Amino acid sequence: MWLRDPSPMLLAAIALGLVVVVLASIVSVFAAPRRPDLPPPLEGQAILASPTRAGSVTETPEKSYAPPSVSFSSRAVAPTRTTAPTRRAAPSSRAASPAPTRPRPKPPVVRPGDLAPLPASRESRLRSHGGGPSTFIDFVNTRESTVVVHWINYDGRRQQYAVLRPGQSYRQQTYVGHPWVVADERGRGLVCFEPARQTLRAVIR
């Protein structure tokens, strides 16, 4: 009977129920959980490529010359009655030569197949973010001291992955958007790298 002759209150209750169902479905769609970050990089593996150390250049000592000895004549000079007054030497008008300036260090040359190094001061502003494709970095230590390779995680903190002695190198799996920092044994940052889509070398100089 109530279906054939519905009251206004019943129609309002049905309309309100439909609105609640539609709003709940919309909220559930927009409240879906976001895609989680990518997992951390996998452990790296050693590679056979070992860099050749730059040979030490021996500087040729500069030649030094001694001034020739001064000889005095033994011939007697006749004394004179009056001696001319000595004049003071006039001050030289030549300006003093400026002190030599130290040449500014040249930026490292990025060779084909190498990643562009970033200064260690950038570390505080770097952090990993997900979504990038998987790739590799070949870390190459050309220094005369041991270095430590760290991944910068999603919180901007270091996570140690490898210790490279002088002349060692290894391949590290990573993702585009995951920065890395190389430090010395005391933890002082030396250089940062950001991976590319293709496998490139991170040369530590």
Report residue 97's pLDDT band, with 50, 70 and 90 as the boundaries. Answer: low
CA dist., res. 132 & res. 178, Å (int)? 8
Q: What is the pLDDT of residues 181-195, one digit of tens each?
A: 999 999 999 999 999
CA dist., res. 53 & res. 204, Å (int)? 12
Report residue 57's pLDDT band, with 50, 70 and 90 as the boundaries. Answer: very low
Is 120 a domain residue? yes
Is 153 a domain residue? yes
Give the pLDDT confidence score for residue 151 in this predicted structure: 97
Number of domains the chain contains: 1
Are 150 and 182 in contact by the 8 Å Cβ rule? The answer is yes
Domain enclosing residue 132, as ranges: 110-204
Give the CATH number of the domain where residue 197 resides. Answer: 2.60.40.780
Is 152 a domain residue? yes
Give the pLDDT confidence score for residue 48 in this predicted structure: 47
Looking at residue 114, the DSSP 8-state letter turns out to be: B
Other Cβ atoms less than 10 A from the Cβ of 28: the count is 9
Q: What is the pLDDT of residues 101-119, one digit of tens each?
A: 666 656 667 788 999 999 9
CA dist., res. 147 & res. 73, Å (int)? 70
* Neighbouring-strand partners of residue 204: 141
Is 191 a domain residue? yes
* pTM check: above 0.85: no
Are 198 and 126 in contact by the 8 Å Cβ rule? The answer is no
Q: Is the pLDDT of residue 143 over 60?
A: yes
Burial grade of 112 (CB within 10 A; 0-12, 13-18, 19 or more): exposed
